[in-house]
Chain A
Amino acid sequence: MNHPCLVTLERDSAPRVLFSGDALVEVDLPAGTRVIYAKPPMTALQDVDAAIRYAINHPLGTDPLYAKLRPGMKVTIAIDDISLPLPPMRRPDIRERVLTIVLALLADHGVDDVEIVIATGIHRRMKAHEVRHMVGDRIFDGYWPDRLYNHDAEDRPNLIEIGRNSAGHPLVLNRRAAQSDLLIYVNLNFVAMNGGYKSVAVGLCDYQSLRAHHNPDTIRASDGYMDPKKSALADRIGEMGEIAHRELDIFTIETTVNNRMFDRSLEFLTKNEDDLNARERGLLKALVVSTSKLPQSARQAIFDRFPAPYGVTGVTAGATHAVHEKTIERCFEQYLVPIEGQADVLVAPIPFISPYNVHAFLNPLLVQVLAQGYLFNMYRGAPLVKKGGTLIITHPCTDKFDHEQHAPYIDFVHRLLPETRDAHELRRRYEEKFANDPAFIQMYRSGHAYHPSHPFFMWYWGENGRQHLGRVIVVGADNEYIPKLLGYETAPSMDEALYRAREGKARTLDITLLHVPPIIMGDVSLPGGRLG
């Protein structure tokens, strides 16, 4: 019997409604198509503050937080940035709740030298209003900007090398964090590749440190990013993380949220289209029609308007490795849907948001990240699609970029991709030069742009998807140029895309639709227990 989240389409099934950027489109898929829906949201904790207090008083693998404190010590608290969760969660954000309790505990123990660093890594600096949303008014007013600030991966005097990995790559970290008596990391774990050793080793490091693992070879060697046990990326970051944990005293607090991404008014978007009541069907139809008529900015405003009502499902604290194992368990419990066998064709709608475009347009490079990077990798066991199979995505692939956040992306897409799509060649010929571009670095430091190395890492992110997939076909592209730059084919309709995917195959195609968002991971087992 099928898992309740698996639906096999029949001849009279309703059309599926899929995201195509910030629009919704109706798509008819053949009978027999397997649709994977998200699991229902896990039950949220009733008393989150009590759970936080319990976690820091009963940590895993280390002393309770209060036992580590002494008057006059220097403490740095690092927190995850706005790239998680998506969209930003309704206030109070879980980070505000954890910070409120931790700061009170520090004050009670005479710890006054406290600074809060937003662990942006090479992501863009968060804006003041975003920080306020994340940490709440009281903490923002008390700490911003002198004692609450963004990490700056180019602020040389305030970075320090704390060790080297087995290959000789340096781990350079935020000096304040590295030279504190205690570093407390407050994480919000959205997907299985977040958190753990990655928090400090990536969130507080510089570009040179990232090169050790953010490279095409590591990505190619990763059998999915969402299963840390099979991810070379997790291994190599882990090696850096171990250096950090050897040299620093780190107390980790990890939190998980359920998958309640949409406000109640939009919750029907996550349901099986055949199970909608008349009102929901009407609303869905209205959304499909209105998003096809409205200008892009208005469409974006619809989805930006409502912060997500995520519920907190767990808080764990203590030694990073032990804490993260519990966190991953909760992530898997929320996201994993058991799937038998791989598909010939995976259909994946590309929504309007990714970790790298909060409050900005999802540009073409980020479409690639979502397609071959994130959605292809949403599996444990084996990829959802067979080796050499087809990925069909729905997105307009508009040639549009946010000039403030994604300035270096524009050069990457329009100057470098026409030269080559080969990740190794891009790394060899352009990455370092680009990463040291003085103007783009200043945009990162003074403005709100991503670091100029970021578009390269975004391209590498798609590398294992590129190696595995036979082809990617875009349905609904508004131009031919961008898909071609990304190495994609285009099709005017889903029927045409499926027709192309069928070319040369005598038998019927196995088609799987990953009905995202919200996030879903396939727990894929192969016939005979064989894992891919």
Chain B
Amino acid sequence: MAASYFDVDGTLVATNLVHPTLFYLVNQPTPVQTALRLGRAALKAPSMALAELVDRRTFNELLYGTYAGMTEDRLTLLAEEAFRKVLLPSLFPAAKALVEQNLRAGHRIVLISGALDWIVKHLADHLGGHEIIANRLEMKDGIATGKLLKPVVAGPEKARLIREHARAHGYDLDECYAFSDSYSDLPMLSVVGHPAAVNPDKRLSLLAKAYSWPSFDLRALP
């Protein structure tokens, strides 16, 4: 038995972490709250842009700070709509076929993403995935604090989480697959026996070629 671990943003869908966040910010209970939240997010934008260049984890923390004060009920309620309106239209045409191929091979399908668990869960259901490893917002009395619960799913932490997941379920990592679009996911790709570059960025593309990893594009229908 083996598992296939899929990064989400850029690998299976064209969106990134910012798109669903914007959906939440725009869909506040009143237009005034929407304007206020968008304004605050705009002020944070330069710091986020800098953090994105330096450290993905800091970027995640800044981004998810914009969720502070939103109610858990609202976040949960809007998750299905956010999936339908933001993620689903951005799903790469061949993504479902790739997941199905892994299912046919008898693999456990695990989506591993820096996005929030409520939305990733809908994507996993849509694709026929079994499990998700995603970021979770800290809640206090039903209100988001804007902080992420540990472990924060990003960069090298993904590799540790995959190792832990495989060990807990008794999977041989040499038999497992991992799919990602980004060089930043190199640690996650390196811990499995079958890494693959999907819609790879330039650095990952070169690396995949050097190590003879499979490399392909899901952005067009087969």
Contacts and interface: CB of A to CB of B under 8 A. Distances in A.
Interface of A: 152, 154-155, 401, 403, 407, 410-411, 414, 436-443, 445-447, 449
A445 B99 CA distance: 13
Interface in B170-222: 177, 179, 194, 196, 209, 212, 214-218, 220, 222
Interface stretch (B18-26, B51-59, B71-79, B102-110): B102-110
A117 to B, nearest CB: 14
A442 B105 contact: no
Contacts of A438: 4, 98, 101-102, 104-105, 107, 177
A436 B105 contact: yes
Given A403-B212, A437-B194, A438-B4, A446 B177 contact: no
B36 interface: no
B97 interface: yes
Nearest to A408: B214
B104 A436 contact: yes
Given A436-B105, A442-B218, A446-B216, 8 more contacts: A436-B104, A438-B105, A438-B177, A439-B177, A439-B216, A442-B214, A445-B222, A446-B218
Nearest to B198: A442
Contacts of B179: 439
B149 interface: no
Given A446-B217, A447-B217, A411 B94 contact: no
Contacts of A442: 94, 97-98, 101, 196, 214, 216, 218
Contacts of A154: 101, 222
10 contacts: A152-B222, A401-B212, A411-B212, A436-B105, A439-B194, A446-B216, A446-B218, A446-B220, A447-B215, A449-B216
Contacts of B218: 442, 446
Q: How large is the interface on B (under 10, 10 to 19, 20 to 34, 35 or more residues)?
A: 20 to 34
A436 B105 CA distance: 6
Contacts of A441: 101
A401 B210 CA distance: 12
A439 B214 contact: yes
A446 B194 contact: no
Given A154-B101, A403-B209, A440 B222 contact: no
Contacts of A445: 94, 97, 222
Contacts of B209: 403
Contacts of B214: 407, 437, 439-440, 442-443
Nearest to B219: A446
Of listed B97, B217, B218, residue having the most chain A CB within 10 A: B97
Nearest to A145: B221
B94 A446 contact: yes
Nearest to A154: B101
A155 B94 CA distance: 11
A485 to B, nearest CB: 15
A440 B217 CA distance: 12
Nearest to A433: B105
Nearest to A409: B212
A439 B222 contact: no
A441 B216 CA distance: 10
A433 to B, nearest CB: 8
A126 B218 CA distance: 18
Interface string B154-181: 0000000000000000000000010100
B215 A403 contact: yes
Nearest to A448: B216
A410 B4 CA distance: 22
A207 to B, nearest CB: 12
Top 4 closest pairs, chain A to chain B, by CB: A445-B222, A439-B214, A439-B196, A438-B101
A450 to B, nearest CB: 12
B198 to A, nearest CB: 8
A441 B212 CA distance: 15
Nearest to A436: B105
Contacts of A446: 94, 216-218, 220, 222
Contacts of B194: 437, 439
Contacts of A152: 222
A156 to B, nearest CB: 8
Contacts of B220: 446
A146 to B, nearest CB: 11
Contacts of A449: 216
B101 to A, nearest CB: 4
Contacts of B177: 438-439
Contacts of A447: 215-217
A414 B211 CA distance: 12
Interface in B82-117: 94, 97-98, 101-102, 104-105, 107
B185 to A, nearest CB: 15
A436 B194 CA distance: 13
Contacts of B217: 446-447
A155 B212 contact: no
Contacts of B212: 401, 403, 407, 410-411, 414
Of listed B177, B214, B217, residue having the most chain A CB within 10 A: B214
A169 to B, nearest CB: 19
